[in-house]
Amino acid sequence: MAENSLLEKVLSLQDKFASLQEQLTSPEVMSDMKKYVQLNKDYKQLEPIIKTGLEYKRMLDNLASAKDVFMNEKDDELKEMAREEMTEIQEKLPKMEDDIKLMLIPADPDDAKNAMVEIRGGTGGDEAAIFAGDLFRMYQHFAESRGWKLEVSDQAPGTAGGFKQIVFKLSSATEGVYGIMKYESGVHRVQRVPQTETQGRIQTSAASVAVFPEAGEFDVTIDPNDIRKDLFCASGPGGQGVNTTYSAVRLTHIPTGIVVQCQEERSQLKNAERAMEELRSRIYNMEHQKYLDEIAAKRKTMVSTGDRSAKIRTYNYPQGRVTDHRTGWSMYNLPVFMDGDIFECIEQLQIAENAERLKEAA
């Protein structure tokens, strides 16, 4: 039976799971931090599969017991209780089987990471920068609603408000931020009467959002000799002395030409640490992009993360509507969406992607 085959796949991972548990407590592994981090990551990926698999086995055992009672018991009351239990279990099994199938498909290993986000004003001049600021506030409110931490590392304000560019990190100790935020990568288009428009005409502007996983200390090895470090006076907010001390840091990775900078902290040391975090993540993302390109060729819902020039969403202010072009999902309460209530849209993308992953595994 298909259910037995699925159970066998899960139970076959038990030995590996037990081995990981044993290795994680060994002094040899604990003294090698890089190895420990990787093994711990593998352990956490297997843990929910094993837990769900054991619950699935328990339900199958209960179903078999209920069937036995129903077939062989003469007491009508006991037979009826067994029939009800059989019905209840059979209703739950398909959902659990789909959950296990999804768990058995290798997930993006970066889903559990924190996320680096870059928003750039695109076509539309001042209005595009204003819209980039609106998107930043939307993500800021979304992060607050989920208890995430948001740290800005660099920003270039627009001349009429908003941002020409803003880079920030979203982090959480309890859930994978990148696995949720990755669906936001792409071009966001807005249709509205700009603040700068005097004739009341509706214009179309755009801002691009790039989301990539934050690379950990052990994900990327960077030779210090490959980095050029420049110090300069910060130009953004920061209080007294911000423009008179060389606290801002710019790092250039010579082999790749990647340049990052941070000027949001008053401390040069903290700015240097934040800039190094972003540099690691951008270098890591160059390799990660190859993985995204492979997925983009298979799944229409992931095309935005494979091609950041793809138009993924339209925000139509006259109609009060937001539409995601990957799933066709729309919401006619744009103010609420712009206030950070975006998870329903992301959830639809997750559902669509999971459906495609199940097709791949079939």
pLDDT digits (tens, 9 = 90+) for 112-128: 899 999 999 988 889 99
CB atoms within 10 A of CB 323: 18
Name residue, tokens 């058995």. Answer: 104
Distance CA 238, CA 279 (A): 23
Q: What confidence tens digit (pLDDT) does each residue in 286-340 have?
A: 877 777 776 666 655 554 554 456 789 999 999 999 999 989 999 999 999 999 9
Q: What is the pTM of this model?
A: 0.72
Percent of all residues in the chain with a pLDDT value above 70, rounded to a whole number: 89
Distance CA 138, CA 117 (A): 13
Task: Profile the chain (362 residues) by mean pLDDT over runs of 10 residues.
Answer: 71 85 86 80 83 91 93 90 94 88 77 92 89 97 97 92 95 91 94 80 92 82 90 64 71 92 86 90 82 65 53 95 95 97 94 80 62
- CA-wise closest residue to 181 among 153, 155, 219, 146: 146
Mind listing the domains of the chain with CATH numbers? 2-104 (1.20.58), 115-357 (3.30.70.1660)
Distance CA 287, CA 290 (A): 6
pLDDT at residue 173 in the model:
85
Query: Is residue 113 within 8 Å of residue 173, measured between CB atoms?
Result: no
CA 90 remoteness from chain centre: 33
